[in-house]
Chain A
Amino acid sequence: MTNPSLSDWGLYIHIPFCRSRCTYCDFNTVIGMGEEDHRRYVDALLLQWQRISAIPRGNLVSIFIGGGTPSLLAPDHIDRILEAVRRKLGISLEGVEITMEANPGTVNESRLHKYRLSGVNRLSLGVQAWQNHHLQRLKRAHSVLEAAQGVEAARLAGFDNINLDLIYGLPQQTLAEWEDSLTGVLGLNPDHLSLYQLQVEEGTPLAVQLQRGRASLPAGDMSADMADRGRERLIEAGFVPYEISNYCRPNKHSRHNRLYWTMNPYLALGAGAHGYWNARRWWIIRGVRRYIEDLQAGGNGIAGEERLERLEEMREYIWLGLREEGGFSRNRFRDKFSINPESAFGAVLGGLHRRGLVERQSEYIRLTGRGRDLANYVFREFVGSS
């Protein structure tokens, strides 16, 4: 797996619409919007795209249409968006990875085929669990059967790069159920799998349920067992673990995800989207109505930004890079920052090495198996004040 060139860049496009809100979700989503709202939102999004004046000089390698539920947008809208990208950059999107997230309950073969024709070449479906009672409790808008049918339809529609998401550590989830979920998704023969541990985010319905004792998380080390079991099963099935929560068939890794870990530039389109380029992180207005109003009033949609000091950028480079199974390239670090990682962070890296959490393999610095288990412990060495 070769690293992207330092100048390769990506484009993230956020589509916030959802049919219903999952209990654990704290992403920027909005429910109850109709066709007219979709049109106004896409219009605003295209305005925002037109007003972006500075475009990275390197190659656009990935477009990621995330949400929310992008598959709620009619294929025409997706087509308009991708066409605008093509036109402004004056390039063909042929070699570009174009991912779209979809909810299995919102798609059929003909609709998927239209997305495919617009240029979408990678599909990411949220399966999450293989038990309808879990899906219902999480307020997912689909059943296990619909998930399976969705994958089937995507294949028929011509998608040869499909990711499925699963979540472990669900309330009341047993290890046996998790095994069933893994078996279930592996049976669908996906190209890529993301296994996420459930995070309880403040203010979500799930957090309230837990507080009031209406739900309980798996006890003790159960979640850790699930993570270990997931990794074993996927490796047995021929998947390559290439990042803390991501697995793929050989050469089917997500190019977009990797841009985040290798600190490549990415531009942000749509409400609540985040961008990064030239030591600058910025984010777009979250509220859909305010976003549309800002664009209609001639604004650029940007809500805030932060500039990374050089030291901060180097530290982020390290902890983001360590998320990848192979770690980060020392040479690439030196190319970007003109210093060896050991010269900048010798003491910290040395300490982590002594504790058996990181190791060096030829020109890469990576987490050991134990370091992967305690990734946050390692990452914390590279944030905040010491």
Chain B
Amino acid sequence: MKQSEIRNFSIIAHIDHGKSTLADRLIEYTGTLSAREMAPQVLDSMELERERGITIKAQAVRLDYEHEGRHYELNLIDTPGHVDFTYEVSRALQACEGALLVIDAAQGVEAQTLANLYLALEHDLTVIPVINKIDLPNANPEKVQEELIEIGLDGTEAIMVSAKLGIGIDETLALVVSRVPPPHGDENAVLRALIFDSRFDSYKGVLVYIRVVDGSLRVGDQIRFMATGASFEVAEIGVFRPHPTTVSSLTTGEVGYFAASIKTVQDTHVGDTVTLAANPAEEPLPGYRPAQPMVFSGLYPVESSDYGRLREALEKLQLNDASLTFEPETSAALGFGFRAGFLGLLHLDVVQERLEREYNLSLITTAPNVVYQVHLTNGEEIRVDNPALMPPSGEIQEIREPMVNASIITPSEYIGAVMELAQERRGIYKDLSYIDKQRAMLNYLLPLGEIMFDFFDQLKSRTRGYASFDYQWSDFVPADLVRLDILINGEVVDAFSMIAHRDKAYQRGRSLVEKLRDLIPRQLFDVPLQAAIGGRVIARETVKAMRKDVLAKCYGGDITRKRKLLEKQKEGKKRMKSVGSVEIPQEAFMAILRVDDK
């Protein structure tokens, strides 16, 4: 295919603004899939994605489109729709020349709309605004057009679409052809292809999703990944229509996948450059960086005998998720488990849910924490991803915590409430601008660790659900942080340790022991609960010893029933973790997350 007849584009949007529905319509309209074959939202292939309405794995679909008598090859590259996957989004965008920016006609511009727009502009993409859901009774496309002008786009050029009713679909495709520039790589140069995703197929090994930037790729080529240096022979090349369809080659500007008997996705790094082993390119494509997990959590099986199954499940998930990391970890409280690293909270949530749902595992997940850079007095620098492993304060010169640039869009009457929340969370105010007469965008530099404690829920509740929120990784900065420990029956329970800002540690310790007092059932003896900072106890509560646990009622001679009742009670106890001689229920380990700051 000639480069002039290729268009590579993606669709970007705030969550729920209709990205997947629009993609479905484009696929349907171009006849790539018959209406009969369409399951709603074909691009979101995982069950979980479909349920949550979010896209986790990017996919690329080739659409054939006739326009003004010419045949075009349109490659629609789907992007993950959540802030955790910003880097994956940026790689997907790098594979494109244009983007459809979808805005809900009733909701208007939201935080993610902007974040995605800026990301697209960073990659010099041609952005075509699409106002979707114009069929909604409360749609207000004129207002959205004004908002678009406010954010620097030509709102009058926006396409009016109802993906649901199929309105404006042809116009959208026509604009993709006329506005999005064709690729402009060097057909005669050495192969350089950008990896923007990969997924594991149990028959073919890893399928590597690429955009050919220069040169071309053929079946039988010996390729090399420039970042890792690994070499493979290409066994199959294909494109998605959206079912995988094999082709013999991919030429400059084209998008597709190849298989080369690659065993794990760990060999294929998103953002890496594919070149030929025999005749490698001199320079890789710009912008590669390995995915860095920022959020960590301990994953422990409730039944210790499930440890092996948990490992297998994590390994299987990792086949498809290069950004998931895990290593074995032993907790004095919880036994054998894994410390897993995630790109963000949603990523953690998705992995945890898949482990429980698809692998039928019952898990105790410790409260997530961020990773810290710690400068020791001996000059060493270490990364701490588990609060229990934070060295004693005497050995620490400085702790640096990860910060994010957060943008919050809110109706103007809630600006005060949002600022209050951001300040409570140690946010550093950057600026405030108005998107239109009613809505403002606030920018803050916020500690990532602070938004993990129900920040989003708080934001929603303080703005009656109107505010939207997005963030991007910024930097590590020094902060006055301390390790807060919880002692149960005199012993530090490692799974409860956390890192907190010194000003808040006292309050957090207090409310955590109060919470635990209510969550830990009464035992045979009094159980003291203490919160300590650096060995100094700052709060104490007691779970009073159990007074009575007696089955006084007589069931005639029905001993079987009595026994079954006791057995049921015993099963309930088994689901608790014994720490020392204290039985702690699962929900106690998540209590940290719900501790109020106030």
Contacts and interface: CB of A to CB of B under 8 A. Distances in A.
Is chain B a partner of chain A in the same complex? yes
Contact of B559 (A194, A276, A355, A373): A276
Given A257-B554, A380-B566, A316 B559 contact: yes
B548 A196 contact: no
B282 interface: no
B550 A373 contact: yes
Interface in B520-576: 524, 546-554, 556-560, 563, 566-567, 569-571, 573
Nearest to B547: A224
A223 interface: yes
Interface string A227-242: 1000000000000000
Nearest to A257: B554
A372 B567 CA distance: 19
A376 B547 CA distance: 12
Nearest to A357: B524
B547 A221 contact: yes
Contact of A380 (B524, B559, B570): B570
Interface in B103-131: none
Nearest to A194: B554
Nearest to A220: B547
Given A373-B549, A375-B549, A383-B563, A273 B556 contact: yes
Contacts of A260: 557, 559
A32 interface: no
A260 B556 CA distance: 9
A169 to B, nearest CB: 9
A373 B548 CA distance: 5
Interface in A250-282: 257, 260, 266, 268, 273-276, 281
Give the contact-size bracket for chain B.
20 to 34
Interface in A59-111: 66
Contact of A384 (B556, B558, B559, B566): B566
A306 to B, nearest CB: 6
B33 to A, nearest CB: 51
Contacts of B563: 316, 383
Contact of B549 (A283, A306, A316, A376): A376
A197 B558 contact: no
A283 B556 CA distance: 12
Contacts of B524: 355, 357, 374, 377
Contact of A12 (B551, B557, B560): B557
Contacts of A27: 556
Interface string A194-232: 111101000000000000000000000101100100000
B569 A380 contact: yes
Given A197-B550, A376-B551, A320 B559 contact: yes
Nearest to A355: B524
A186 interface: no
Given A274-B558, A306-B560, A380 B573 contact: yes
Contact of A373 (B547, B558, B560): B547
A157 interface: no
A274 B556 CA distance: 8
B526 to A, nearest CB: 13
Contact of B550 (A227, A306, A357): A227
A244 interface: yes
Give the contact-size bracket for chain A.
35 or more
A230 to B, nearest CB: 10
A156 B566 CA distance: 43
Contacts of A355: 524
Nearest to B523: A377
Interface in A269-299: 273-276, 281, 283
Contacts of A375: 549-551
Nearest to B551: A376
A14 B550 CA distance: 26
Contact of B546 (A227, A273, A281, A374): A374
B558 to A, nearest CB: 5
Contacts of A224: 547-548
Contacts of B547: 221, 224, 373
A49 interface: no
Contacts of B556: 12, 14, 27, 66, 273-274
Interface string B202-243: 000000000000000000000000000000000000000000
A149 interface: no
Contacts of B549: 373-377
Nearest to B560: A281
A12 B556 CA distance: 8
Contacts of B552: 195-197, 199, 227, 244-245
A274 B550 contact: no
A194 B559 CA distance: 18
A376 B550 contact: yes
Contacts of A197: 550, 552-553
A113 B563 CA distance: 39
A219 B548 CA distance: 14
Contacts of B560: 274, 281, 283, 306
A379 interface: yes
Interface in B566-596: 566-567, 569-571, 573
Contact of B567 (A275, A320, A384): A384
A373 B545 CA distance: 11
A275 B557 CA distance: 7
B550 A281 contact: no
Contacts of A357: 524
A384 B570 contact: yes
A384 B564 CA distance: 8
A350 to B, nearest CB: 15
B559 A372 contact: no
Interface string B436-455: 00000000000000000000
A319 B562 CA distance: 11
B557 A196 contact: no
B440 to A, nearest CB: 44
Interface in B361-420: none
Scoring B546, B547, B557, B570 by chain A CB atoms within 10 A of each residue's CB, the highest score goes to B557
B569 A266 contact: no
B485 to A, nearest CB: 28
Interface of B: 524, 546-554, 556-560, 563, 566-567, 569-571, 573
Interface of A: 12, 14, 27, 66, 194-197, 199, 221, 223-224, 227, 244-245, 257, 260, 266, 268, 273-276, 281, 283, 306, 316, 319-320, 355, 357, 372-377, 379-380, 383-384
19 contacts: A195-B552, A196-B552, A197-B550, A197-B552, A224-B547, A227-B552, A244-B551, A260-B557, A274-B558, A316-B559, A316-B563, A320-B559, A373-B549, A374-B546, A374-B550, A375-B551, A376-B566, A379-B551, A384-B571
Given A199-B552, A274-B556, 19 more contacts: A14-B556, A27-B556, A196-B554, A221-B547, A227-B552, A257-B554, A260-B557, A274-B557, A274-B558, A357-B524, A373-B549, A375-B551, A379-B566, A380-B569, A380-B573, A383-B570, A384-B566, A384-B567, A384-B571
Lowest 8 CB-CB distances: which A-B pairs, in order?
A224-B547, A197-B552, A384-B567, A274-B557, A224-B548, A245-B552, A376-B549, A383-B566
